[in-house]
Amino acid sequence: MSLAKLEVMYGHIDGAEGKFARDPSGYLAIEAGIFRKHGLEVSWQHVQGTEERYSKLEDGSAQISLVVGRAALQHYLDSKATRILGSSMNTSPYLLLASSVIKEITDLKGKSLACMEGAARIAPLAQVFSDHGLGRDSVALKLTKGDQDAFNMLTDGEADAALLPRPYGFMAEENGFKRIAAWPEVVDDPLPVMIETTQSLLRAREKELTSFLDAHREGIRYLKTNRAAAIKMLSTRFGHSPALAVKTYDDYLILLDERMTINFGHLEKLLAQVAPGFSGGARMLAAEWLIPQALR
């Protein structure tokens, strides 16, 4: 049987020294022969930088890009050239990381808290603070352009605590900061792994792209039921320490969703973070941007 070739691109989390891919499940799926079973020869390639990935999609040298929702949506609004096939992760709630003097949420009184502005804008932070007896001005919020900036503020001592996506939170723990387990899941990274292609590629290779989605579903199920193999892959391919590999699997990769579809509520959250003034709202965005099968 001849195999259709597909190149799938992904990027590392910024500033993570190559340690975190948002969805590395393809490596296990390739080894297990899952893509071949679906008639595909898949190359799972790290391509750093969204601009390079979009260039490869546009010239057809790659067909699929796994990308954080914020970047995917901004590129679509700028170009209208991409289509979303689905998402392998709908939600990744932020963690609260803090210096050693902060043991619980109430200890934030009089302290500073860094968080990406877009994420903080739509989260009920004031309500969380109020629920823990903290007044409106009890916590000094330091809003940043990106998650990397919030992480840097924490590790550089410019903030006492930070709300961070899980991979950044794991890195902060590696640097000696502590996770405040009581923090509720109210700040989110909606649609952190979107699967995109271009309109022209979708027209030309719809059959192969559909087969990819079927195979990727199976690949994620394989990762989630083969914990030891996944942890070994994180160690050998990404250089995770044993403790970090376990944490990444148990607290992050377990959030991968084999349905591959997009929850409408998380699409609304993404739009509110990136382009709250978008005319037509999330329903119009979904109709224009997502393939019909991608939405649930």
Co-location of 84 and 162 in the same domain: no
pLDDT tens-digit map of 217-264: 999 999 999 999 999 999 999 999 999 999 999 999 999 999 999 999
pLDDT tens-digit map of 15-67: 656 578 889 999 999 999 999 999 999 999 999 888 899 999 999 999 999 99
Proportion of the chain above pLDDT 70, given as a percent = 98
Co-location of 86 and 232 in the same domain: yes
Co-location of 216 and 267 in the same domain: yes
Please report whether residue 184 resides in a domain: no
Please report whether residue 185 resides in a domain: no
CA dihedral 126, 129, 133, 134 (to 10 degrees): -80
Domain boundaries, position 202 = 4-91+190-294
For residue 41, what is the domain's CATH number?
3.40.190.10
Beta-sheet pairing, 112-116 with 161-164: parallel
Co-location of 220 and 78 in the same domain: yes
**pTM, full prediction:** 0.92
Structural domain tally of the chain?
2
pLDDT tens-digit map of 168-217: 999 999 999 999 999 999 999 999 999 999 999 999 999 999 999 999 99
pLDDT for 284 equals 96
Residue 49 to residue 46: CA distance in whole angstroms: 10
Residue 37 to residue 198: CA distance in whole angstroms: 25
Co-location of 232 and 167 in the same domain: no
Co-location of 125 and 47 in the same domain: no
**Domain end marker among 152, 179, 206:** 179
3-state secondary structure of 206: helix
pLDDT for 19 equals 74
Sequence letter at residue 102: I
Strand partners, 86: 195
